[in-house]
Amino acid sequence: MRRGLALYPSKLYIQYLGPDKSTLVTPHLALQPPKGLGVVSVLQGRYTYKHYLQDEFLDRGWGCAYRSLQTLISWLMWQEKTPLESPGPLPTHIEIQRSLVRIGDKPASFAGSKQWIGSLEVSFCIQELYGIQCRLLPISRGSEMSSQAGSLIAEHFASGGGPVMVGGGQLAHTIIGIQLKNMDYDSR
């Protein structure tokens, strides 16, 4: 479900449009997990799905962690609202960059650049902008994700936690659910 569906939505997807009709809110609800393949844990609450090129901003190739951060922040903001209210504006890329400059993580030249950020910078921004501490789980290889993080992510969602940002290499992923194969918490 991308911007095209937001611009020309079918009846099925209208319920997932955000207040400004160009964003999707909690679009994972339109999906069903595969049956019989394990236990599914999914975040609770609303969030605004953010992705490249939204808001007429050209961030393809460098903005994935910024968009993941915006999605995480939107979840925090939506939790404070009633179903008929929409959250305030999300921080822009430049506002995110300025917060990293303000705390001394990046030089002044970083603001306005097309430089990537990662998991650490995402956690710094959430702390700086909202006063919320993040937990960082270092995993040296993606192949270790299942064995080291699967059960923690499932527990995070079961306890009411919001989206999870996973960064690695040149990519950032926003996790909103996990399917565990068995009781040993191998993730799918």
**Over the stretch 136-146, which tens digit does the pLDDT of each residue have?**
988 888 777 77
Give the Cα separation of 27 and 24 in Å (integer).
6
Identity at 9, one-letter amino acid code: P
- pLDDT given at position 56: 86
Average pLDDT rounded to a whole number, residues 81-106: 89
- pLDDT given at position 83: 66
Topology at the third CATH level for domain 3-180: Cathepsin B; Chain A (3.90.70)
Which of 49-53, 90-94, 160-164 has the lowest average pLDDT?
A: 49-53
pLDDT band at residue 30 under the 50/70/90 scheme: confident
For 40, list phi and psi in degrees, rounded to 5. -105, 135
Average pLDDT rounded to a whole number, residues 101-110: 98
- pLDDT given at position 8: 52
For 119, list phi and psi in degrees, rounded to 5. -60, -40
b/e 131-140 (16+ beta carbons within 10 angstroms → b)? eeeeeeeeee
pLDDT band at residue 24 under the 50/70/90 scheme: confident
Highest mean pLDDT out of 22-26, 44-48, 83-87, 99-103: 99-103
pLDDT band at residue 13 under the 50/70/90 scheme: low
More confident residue, 73 or 34: 73
Which tokens in the block code for residue 170?
A: 């040149």
Asked if the model's pLDDT at residue 185 lies above 50, the reply is no
Asked if the model's pLDDT at residue 97 lies above 80, the reply is yes
CB 11 within 8 A of CB 162: no
More confident residue, 60 or 83: 60
Q: Tens digit of pLDDT for each residue in 114-126?
A: 999 999 999 999 9
Give the Cα separation of 33 and 166 in Å (integer).
21
Helices (H), 63-144: 64-78, 93-102, 119-130
- pLDDT given at position 1: 46
